[in-house]
Amino acid sequence: MSGSSVHIMLSNEYYKASSTSHFNCHYQRTIMLKLNSFTVTDEKTHPTQVMRRRATLSHKYELFYRDPLNPVQAQDAWITDASGRKYLDAYNNVVSVGHGNRRVIDAMTNQAKMICTHTRYVNDELCRLSERLTGKNEGNNEWRSIFTCSGSEANDLAMRVAMQFTGGNGFIVTDHAYHGLTALTQAITTSMTGYLELSNRLGLEIATIPSPVGKNEGNSFIDGLQTAINDMHSRGIRLAAGIFDSFFTSDGLGLTPKGFLDDAVRLLHDNGALYIADEVQPGFARSGSYFWGFQTHGADPDIITMGKPMGNGYPMAAIMFKALLDDYIMDSYFNTFGGNNVAVAVGHAVLDEIEERNLLENAHIQGEKILSELEQLKESCVNISSVRGSGMSIAVDVVTNDGAPNADGAIRIVEAMKQRGVIISTSGVSGNTLKIRPLLIYTNEDTNFLIDQAQSAVRTVFS
């Protein structure tokens, strides 16, 4: 296939490029899940593995990168592809305590050898896991928990509890949010097309407010929240909840000013609505300062949802809620796989890793070093307009020479980083934000490699 012509597609835009040369493409702003995703448009020139996917899997499946990655093994923070090349993982927050983590693997396999069944049988370890998780919350509230298999399931259940408790069907979300792919959660996933049509079919009222991304944009976020509340009231809509990723990760990472999320929660409570803290991305020590992302603002959620890093690759998630909400869960709740014995064992192992290896502090130390170096890079490059982050959640805004959002430049940096052996991606309303999510277990060497390659990639792309 040397020198062959490969046709690929980024969302709804087609491109043609040489499979052995650097790609010279133009981009169009796309929806969140397709910012760094490609689909096949020329079946004759793609590798056999890619075409096999197309022949047997839904065409709605997409691939990262123009030249798709074929990972076959991973250990700690490094992924190895089929050719033997290694890549530093600075994106996959699922395996936050490391690929191939021995403690997690041993917990999983040892428990699977003993028994794996559901929550209709007594399991003290399930209770202990709930106690450990609820113990991460501050204050004097009594908490209860339900275990699920995915963050989507957790957010779906949280929405149902909020509607049952308030009697409302109105939800407030940011304008580029991602909260899941069940019917209810996709109806509030504003970063995907079709959410309004779906919400109408489900009888939901959705109000979107500007993402609090950028320096002190949290202030504008509060103004937008008040406007959305007023609008719903004027139309006779009863509010159920505001649901926000505590770090607004898919929006491009909104963190300042400190405390703005607490102000938002009080505003919601004053208007009869609950606050659902979606901790699927910011939770489990990623902030480098607190176990939960909302704790960086001192916020007081009514419901906390979690997933991804909770199982380090094993499909598990949960919802925690103030005890007074327990009576508003319709009938009983049962999930065949949620909270099974293996999931519980894995959950304990992940918490043990975070606590015993002091990964919260490590996330702070490594994250601060990355942020500091990227800030210096910004000072020397006009095409980097903003660097922000907390612990191992980091965002970099890429702009044109005139200061306009530059999604094309962001994708070129993502591709350049892959060529240099580092995996990152993009996010944000304009698609121009580099999404960098290093694993909590990063060593000094991992951090230095990430920084060196980022500096090289940016300078090469904008030279």
> Is residue 171 classed as helix, strand or coil in its secondary structure?
strand
Q: Does the pLDDT value for residue 382 go beyond 50?
A: yes
CB contact set of 439 (below 8 Å; sequence gap of 6+): 76, 77, 89, 90, 92, 93, 95, 96, 97, 98, 392, 446
- What DSSP string runs through 73-132? EEEBTEEEETTS-EEEESS--TTTT-BT-HHHHHHHHHHHHH----TTS--HHHHHHHHH
Q: What is the pLDDT of residue 372?
A: 98
Residue with tokens 């044109």: 400
- As a whole number of angstroms, the distance between CA 72 and CA 82 comes to 6
What class is the 69-97+358-463 domain? alpha beta
Q: What is the DSSP letter of 328?
A: G
Angle between helices 407-419 and 444-461 (to 10 degrees): 130
Strands (DSSP E) found in 249-392? 274-278, 303-306, 317-322, 384-390
CB 395 within 8 A of CB 374: no
The string over 48-72, giving b where at least 16 C-beta atoms fall within 10 Å of a residue's C-beta and e elsewhere, is eebeebeeeeeeeebbbbbbbeeee
E strand or H helix that includes residue 407: helix 407-419
What order of strands is seen across the sheet that includes strand 86-89? 71-75, 78-81, 86-89, 422-423
CB atoms within 10 A of CB 252: 30
Q: Does the pLDDT value for residue 34 go beyond 70?
A: no
Q: What is the pLDDT of residue 39?
A: 62
Can you tell me the mean pLDDT for 55-61? Answer: 88
C-alpha torsion sign, points 78, 81, 87, 89: negative
Q: Radius of gyration of the chain from Cα atoms?
A: 22
Q: Does the pLDDT value for residue 6 go beyond 50?
A: no
CB atoms within 10 A of CB 335: 16
Q: What is the pLDDT of residue 361?
A: 99
Q: Does the pLDDT value for residue 279 go beyond 90?
A: yes
- As a whole number of angstroms, the distance between CA 434 and CA 371 comes to 13
Q: Does the pLDDT value for residue 16 go beyond 60?
A: no
pLDDT higher at 197 or 139? 197
Q: Does the pLDDT value for residue 17 go beyond 70?
A: no
CB atoms within 10 A of CB 300: 19
Q: What is the pLDDT of residue 15?
A: 29
- As a whole number of angstroms, the distance between CA 137 and CA 295 comes to 8
Residue-wise pLDDT for 291-349, tens only, equals 999 999 999 999 999 999 999 999 999 999 999 999 998 888 999 999 999 999 999 99
Q: Does the pLDDT value for residue 230 go beyond 50?
A: yes
Residue-wise pLDDT for 82-120, tens only, equals 999 999 999 999 999 999 999 999 999 999 999 999 999
pLDDT higher at 429 or 353? 353
- Name which of 122-136, 319-333, 381-395, 435-449 the model is least confident about: 319-333
Domain with CATH 3.90.1150.10 in the chain: 69-97+358-463
Q: If one looks up domain 102-356 in CATH, what number appears?
A: 3.40.640.10
CB contact set of 340 (below 8 Å; sequence gap of 6+): 116, 117, 118, 119
Q: What is the pLDDT of residue 324?
A: 96
Question: Tokens standing for 277?
Answer: 């803290």
Q: What is the pLDDT of residue 215?
A: 76
Confidence of residue 35 (pLDDT cuts 50, 70, 90): low
Mean pLDDT score of the chain: 91
Can you tell me the mean pLDDT for 210-239? Answer: 94
- As a whole number of angstroms, the distance between CA 370 and CA 116 comes to 41
pLDDT higher at 139 or 56? 56
Instruction: Rounding to the nearest 10 degrees, give the CA dihedral for residues 127, 133, 137, 140.
Output: 0
What order of strands is seen across the sheet that includes strand 37-40? 13-18, 5-10, 37-40, 63-64
Confidence of residue 184 (pLDDT cuts 50, 70, 90): very high
Domain with CATH 3.40.640.10 in the chain: 102-356
Report the residue count for the chain.
463
CB atoms within 10 A of CB 29: 15
CB 187 within 8 A of CB 204: yes
Q: Against a cut of 0.85, is the pTM above it?
A: yes
Q: What is the pLDDT of residue 254?
A: 95
Q: Does the pLDDT value for residue 5 go beyond 90?
A: no
Residue with tokens 């990262």: 64
Q: What is the pLDDT of residue 216?
A: 77
CB 242 within 8 A of CB 268: yes
Percent of the chain with pLDDT over 90: 82
Residue-wise pLDDT for 405-414, tens only, equals 999 999 999 9
Q: Which of 89, 155, 93 is nearest to 285 (CA)?
A: 93
Confidence of residue 284 (pLDDT cuts 50, 70, 90): very high
Q: What angle do CA 338, 309, 196 make, to 5 degrees?
A: 75
